[in-house]
Chains A and B, each alone.
Chain A
């Protein structure tokens, strides 16, 4: 018998102080979300849209009342611990969905409140799947809110709160990590949050000017062109895939517009830490970083697979059409944006199984860590590939040899087992999430490949659709995709903590 001592972990029931801390900080974030809804309200007033502006004012009022009650009832001066920080994050995202859906539901363009919640979660998690009806006649205010949700969620709801509403809290880092951002750009997490916003605002101004000018050159009215430019930027940089018109990017019929959105999508899929290094003079980093290299390799390999698949079925025989239809969808999938230059059913009717499988791989892999992109992420794939290389070297090396593996991510790093373990756990969790969603889709009677495509799109926060996501789809499937988008965006840890918290509340001692 082993002489080791075994401890059975005792689950502790949450204390009143835990609830107060969680309630207080969630309340603060809810107030922040309420204040952001003033932006579409002002836009509504500027465009003389009185009813839409009122929708947002009503929603803001409800939100502020809830937030103020929470901060008053749960007032505390104590800092957050890890468990509380994680729970605040996961609860804040659910609260943002429920609150953000109020003005959308009031507009009458969503069939039910669940549909409005679906679209808000889709926006906040930068997915881009939508259940809106008659999008082409939606007000400017509501359309702006649809595109503003990815801008809030992509940078992070907590990141906004850290910038503007929560100051000098040592528990800030715990919430920041809970939002799937395990890398700090600057030593101070609040400075990091501000840098993330600086990059986003600079690109917002530049891209709106460029896209607006292209829109005017294509015959759009200046106000419309710049409004569309801002909306398209917010959804492209935040890898969301919403568009102001139901035809998505196809509406613009412009090669230049498509090339510019590809550039913005790639910028959005880049690590904010990498942006910092490049913006502070370390320009070689872009060619040396394992993430950007991995992204290049996987994009090219997956595009080749997709291209062969598309040529097998003869969908796009000309080179330029292949670029605009084939490559655009691949880059949109790989950066987890979800912009489309084809109609949803064309994936099933025109693409063939091999091309569709290539696209599913692109969606599953995703963009860079600490970016607005979803999916497994290029860094994790890079770490797994390096670990495989290390094992192969070990096998072919003489036995006493010590095999070290290095990788370059902002600095030279020696590969350690704990990095490989962490990368594999998250990768497996994503694969399980893709699989579970596909099973639910099949349960509701959809074909395997269609279900896997839509499930991967939801869980990796992509937003490409092969036609399953419609207002008429079963409510159970809508709920499944909402959970997939939420868990995929937060990269599981804070969601697992919330589940653990509820278990502790029931079973704890």
Chain B
């Protein structure tokens, strides 16, 4: 039970970090697109 809780917590943290990294990546791609498209 404790191992399952730890597993869930670790993957929960990983999901949260992935969410944040997705936003960061999207923002960086917008910056690159704006640079090339001269927005």
Contact = CB atoms under 8 A, between A and B. Distances in A.
Contact of A270 (B5, B16, B27, B34): B16
A263 B27 contact: no
Interface in A291-313: 292, 296, 299-300, 303-304, 307-308, 311
A263 B31 contact: no
Contacts of B31: 307, 319-320, 322-323, 326-327
B15 to A, nearest CB: 5
B15 A286 contact: yes
Interface string A372-398: 000000000000000000000000000
A280 B26 contact: no
A320 B27 CA distance: 11
A283 B19 CA distance: 11
A267 B20 contact: yes
A283 B24 contact: no
A279 interface: yes
Contact of A267 (B16, B26, B28): B16
Interface secondary structure of A, over-half rule: helix
Contacts of A201: none
A300 B12 CA distance: 24
A266 interface: yes
A266 B34 contact: no
Interface in B11-33: 11-13, 15-17, 19-21, 23-24, 26-28, 30-32
Contacts of B11: 281, 283
A262 interface: yes
A322 B35 contact: yes
A390 B8 CA distance: 37
Of B23, B28, B34, most buried by chain A (CB within 10 Å of CB) is B23
B23 A259 contact: no
B4 to A, nearest CB: 8
Nearest to A320: B31
Contact of B20 (A262, A300, A319): A262
Nearest to B22: A296
Contacts, number: 79
A498 to B, nearest CB: 36
A278 interface: yes
Nearest to A334: B23
Contacts of B8: 279-281
A307 B20 contact: no
Nearest to A262: B24
B30 A304 contact: yes
B3 interface: no
A311 B24 contact: no
Given A307-B34, A307-B39, A311-B34, A283 B27 contact: no
Contacts of A507: none
Nearest to B10: A279
B24 A319 contact: no
Contacts of B38: 311
A191 to B, nearest CB: 15
A283 B13 CA distance: 10
Interface string A313-332: 00001111011001100110
A174 interface: no
A275 B23 contact: no
A311 B39 contact: yes
Contacts of A259: 24
Contacts of A318: 35
Interface in A82-97: none
Given A307-B31, A319-B32, A279 B9 contact: yes
A206 B16 CA distance: 14
A286 B19 contact: yes
A270 B8 CA distance: 18
A278 B15 contact: yes
A332 B33 CA distance: 22
A311 B34 CA distance: 9
Which of A279, A304, A320 has the most chain B CB atoms inside 10 A of its CB?
A: A279
B16 A299 contact: no
Please give me the 6 A-B residue pairs with the lowest Cβ-Cβ distance, nearest first: A279-B12, A278-B12, A266-B20, A319-B35, A263-B20, A319-B31
Interface of B: 5, 8-9, 11-13, 15-17, 19-21, 23-24, 26-28, 30-32, 34-35, 38-39
Given A286-B16, A319-B35, 14 more contacts: A202-B9, A202-B13, A263-B17, A263-B21, A266-B20, A278-B13, A281-B8, A281-B12, A286-B19, A303-B27, A311-B39, A319-B32, A322-B31, A331-B27
